[in-house]
Structure 1
Amino acid sequence: MLYHYTAVDRAGATQKGDREVPDEKALAKALRDEGFLLVSARTRISPLAHIARIASMPFGGVSLLERIVFARNLAVMIGAGLSMTRALEAQEEQTRSRQFKKIIRGVRESILGGVSFSQSLESHRKIFGDLFIHMVEAGEVSGKLEKSLKLLSRQMKRDYDLRRKVRGAMMYPSIVFMALIAIGVLMLIYVVPTLTQTFKELGIKLPLTTRVIIAASEFATNYIFFALGGLLIVIYLFYLWFRSDSGKRVWGIIFLRLPVFGPLTKKLNIARMTRTLASLISAGLSITRSLEITGRVVGNARFQESLGASVGEIEKGRPFSEILRTWPDLYPPLVFQLISVGEETGTLSRMLLRIALFYEEDVNNTTKNLSSIIEPLMMIVIGAIVGLFAISMIQPLYSSMAGI
């Protein structure tokens, strides 16, 4: 399979390229042997192959909640003494998703054919993700698969809860913003042309802001379909750029600097990073391997960059806490101080979990108060836009009436 990859060396220099390998695991190993750490990888397939793959998939997707239930139920069944194939058969019967049924059936058949559970999941990496596969692999190696699955289900559940709360907090400003755009478009199409005709009949000299609004109205009225088409093209191009490595990095930096949302994003990524690291280390993985996997799980590109650079430094013998001090824009003193204590006392996973709990609680409190913070800001923005529109369109009429 052909992969397009991004990797960093021990000095932090980035390398990008394409390589034909059996799977992502083989790619990571090959790059590691050459002195590089795999940061991200995606398969390169032709458009026809992509369409064929989509067409062959059953309708619907596999949600995070379904994967949480899958991991939790497997842990319970294995703990009760069921074999993996019997547990998977029961899971296949219980799940409602056609796609997930097909995946579980394929995994079970692979195990019956002599392949391990983690290797069977490798065929569905895009569904399960790095964290799921490597936690299972660690459980198989250590002989504590039940414990690994329990840790995994708890980790994913906390991640799911955090995402849901943040999305819920973003719902109100998103709705207000969309409503504001819709009202603005309607005003440009229906209200402004009427006022424009009045201005022409009265022969009023118009200020710059009024002329700009009228020009926007004429464009929206006469070229609405071109405008919508252009907007869709811009959105699509932005989407493609956002998915690129440079786009992710730039957007990651911008988002961390936004007022209100920047600190929330930082806390959310710290919580996800530390909880994921704690789970992987508790499952028996080394700190460097845990960092490699965590770097693919965290959402922000800046955090991914910091974790990727940390692996090479740790292999040189530097403590993890000392490395994080070099990223003060991402990690507050509390993070590397507690990690330092964990390294000194041999309780790193426990300290990472404490950090995760602290920031998860902080995110919970922030999302609860987010509406009270955003509402005044939204009112100021809406008031400024409405005020500008009113002054631009009504002032010329008052000026004309005053001159009569």
Structure 2
Amino acid sequence: MSVFSYEALDSEGETQKGAIEADSPRQARSQLREKGWIPLLLKEIEEKRATKTLGHRRRIRWRSKASTAELALITRQLATLVQAGLPLEECLKAVSEQCEKPHINSLMLSVRSRVLEGYPFADSLSEYSDMFDDLFCAMVAAGEKSGHLDLILNRLADHMEQRHHMKGKILQALLYPMILSIVSVIVIGVLLSSVVPKVVAQFEHSGTNLPFSTQLLMDISAFIQAQGLYVILVFVLLLGLFKYLLRRKGIQIVWHRMILRLPLMGKIIKISNTVRFARTLSILSGSQIPLVEGMGIVAKVSSNTYVEQQVLAAAEQLRQGRSLLFSLSKSRLFSPMMLHMIASGERSGELNIMLERASDNQDREFSLLMTLVISIFEPVLIIIMSGIVLFIVIAILQPILALNNMVNL
């Protein structure tokens, strides 16, 4: 079957756009007419393929990716339909019809086409790695093998919803300080480049000796006027060079390791990565995926390259017959409480349960730490910005008061 993008008029005369699956353009038009729609435009979707290197399998690349919330919704819908006992191809078709975005609709129909061709569901998803990562595909493969695909999809949906919730929590915590910082920098920049020069210029013609604070303010203002654009340009170039250097694996590992050593911020990043590690490994372990294979998948979902390197090193220790506790303790990334819970899970045979509890504990610690950092950062930022504004006001008022005293004398 092929996938066709269409544009048609519905019974109310409104234009409808989307994608439909059919064996031929004629059949696609017939399906649209059965809905009471008038086809205006019909075009077969060409799958964009790119070959990375010779001998590598070609993979379809889509222009857009689904957000975590959208992917969680799709997964939850699939789990519900599979649990109801519907055939997988019908489930995929029903989910595609619920997708509002055309590119996701087309993607789900393409996955269904591969399933109808006889490919396993996990292999069909792996063709679209921009949307379905290794974790998703590995768990779906485990669900197909065990015959519990609905349970696996529900676990995946829970995992993605929790990840989306954590992202939202971080964004919500950082939103106000970011806005406050940007507004403060803009206000101070406008004051120093436009307002201060006009006010202070009045004192230059008076011939009086200006106070140190006023002279310093004038020098800063003159520097910003003369060199401000060059400073911004140099900053942008240095930022671009820094990002270019971070593409090198070695430099990226060193930088990410330095970030983990920062006070407070380093601890926040470390906890967020250990939460992701524990929760993801819990899902994989509960899905009967081998622990060594699961560690390799978990390493790929880490946001820190140094953490990824340490998890891969722990996986190698596991492959050599070491325990998970011993392998992870060498990295010094995990808290003693988490390590004790992992050891308890290994001894009792309930590793997935203990990892889930450990991730919940770390998640609570993460929330408390984020609240603490924001509660400290906000007043400190306000004090710094208030101090800068106070300095500007005093620097302007001092010569005014001096002139006033001279007039009174």
Give the Cα separation in 2 of the matches to 1:229 and 1:66.
Answer: 38
C-alpha contact (below 8 Å) 2:78/2:91 kept by paired residues:
yes
Give the Cα separation in 1 of the matches to 2:372 and 2:66.
Answer: 32
Structure-2 residue corresponding to 1:186: 190
Offset at residue 380 of structure 1 (A): 2.9
* Structure 1 residues 248 and 101: alpha-carbon distance in aligned structure 2, compared to 1, 3 A threshold: farther
Q: CA RMSD in A?
A: 3.1
Corresponding residue SS for 2:131: helix
Structure-1 residue corresponding to 2:83: 79
* Structure 1 residues 354 and 218: alpha-carbon distance in aligned structure 2, compared to 1, 3 A threshold: same
Give the Cα separation in 1 of the matches to 2:134 and 2:259.
Answer: 25
Corresponding residue SS for 1:127: coil
Structure-1 residue corresponding to 2:94: 90
* Structure 1 residues 69 and 114: alpha-carbon distance in aligned structure 2, compared to 1, 3 A threshold: same
Mapping 1:7-26, distance limit 5 Å: 22=56
* Structure 1 residues 397 and 159: alpha-carbon distance in aligned structure 2, compared to 1, 3 A threshold: same
TM-score by length of 1: 0.78
Structure-1 residue corresponding to 2:324: 320
Offset at residue 258 of structure 1 (A): 3.7
Mapping 1:144-155, distance limit 5 Å: 144-155=148-159
In structure 2, stretches of 5+ residues that fail to align are 1-49
C-alpha contact (below 8 Å) 1:62/1:97 kept by paired residues:
no
Q: String of CA shifts for 1:12-53, please: whole Å, max 9, x gaps.
A: xxxxxxx755259xxxxxxxxxxxxxxxxxx9xxxxxxxxx9
Structure-1 residue corresponding to 2:283: 279
- Of 274, 293, 297, the match for 1:270: 274
Structure-1 residue corresponding to 2:389: 386
Tell which deviates more after alignment, 377-386 or 216-225. 216-225
- Of 343, 346, 351, the match for 1:343: 346
Q: One-letter code of the match for 1:374?
A: F
Structure-1 residue corresponding to 2:112: 108
Report sequence identity in percent: 26
Offset at residue 306 of structure 1 (A): 1.4
Offset at residue 115 of structure 1 (A): 1.4
Mapping 1:294-305, distance limit 5 Å: 294-305=298-309
Count of equivalent residues: 358
Q: One-letter code of the match for 2:295?
A: L
Tell which deviates more after alignment, 243-252 or 346-355. 243-252
Mapping 1:62-211, distance limit 5 Å: 62-203=66-207
Structure-2 residue corresponding to 1:376: 379
Q: Which has the larger radius of gyration?
A: 2
Q: One-letter code of the match for 1:22?
A: H
Tell which deviates more after alignment, 258-267 or 77-86. 258-267
Greater relative CO, 1 or 2 (CA 8 Å, sep 6+): 1
